[in-house]
Amino acid sequence: MRIGTIVNGVVLDHIPAGRGMELYRYLKLDSLEYEVALIKNAPSVKMGRKDILKVSGDIDLNLDVLGYIAPGITVNIIKNSKLIIKTHPKLPDKLVDVIRCNNPRCITSCERELSHVFKLTDAESRTYRCIYCETKAERAKGF
């Protein structure tokens, strides 16, 4: 299989095998005019198998959201065929309007314009809790 080189764009590497399509949907890559390549089940020394997403164009990425959805991924930003940024997003300390509080008694249920804010309370178990009512957040599906 041959995937062309990227002159300007983004490569998301070390996505858990079989999860690339979920990330593809979350990032709404189907609505882009750029070339997008999803490589599924690529061999990996580190992970056994992995998925890779390549986008030939500049896209806005929220690293906090990527750190929450797929911790352990590698984000490579490429400009003029050169790697300019390589980062590994970490679990963010706070998430704003990424996940919603499911507690019907939470103030966010009545005050619709209020942001849904969650704080990281246990990094080891990746637990986030609503700052208003302390309800534990549901994990991002599949990640």
The angle formed by the CA atoms of residues 99, 101 and 107, to the nearest 5 degrees, is: 135
pLDDT by position in tens, the chain (length 143): 566 788 899 999 999 898 889 888 888 888 988 899 999 999 999 889 999 999 998 888 888 888 888 888 999 999 999 999 999 999 999 999 888 999 999 999 889 899 999 999 999 999 999 999 999 998 755 45
Question: What SS3 state is found at 32?
Answer: coil
Instruction: List, in order, residues 6 or more apart from 52 with CB less than 8 Å away.
Output: 11, 12, 13, 15, 20, 37, 38, 39, 42
Could you tell me the domains of the chain? 9-87 (3.30.70.140), 94-130 (no CATH)
Q: Which pTM does this prediction carry?
A: 0.77
| Joined tokens for residue 86 | 């390589």
What pLDDT is attached to residue 25? 86
What pLDDT is attached to residue 115? 95
Unique residue bearing structure tokens 């490579």: 76
Instruction: List, in order, residues 6 or more apart from 31 with CB less than 8 Å away.
Output: none
Torsion 87-61-24-64 (CA) sign: positive
* HSE value, Cβ hemisphere, 13 Å, CA-based, for 79: 5
Query: 9: closest CA among 82, 94, 101?
Result: 82
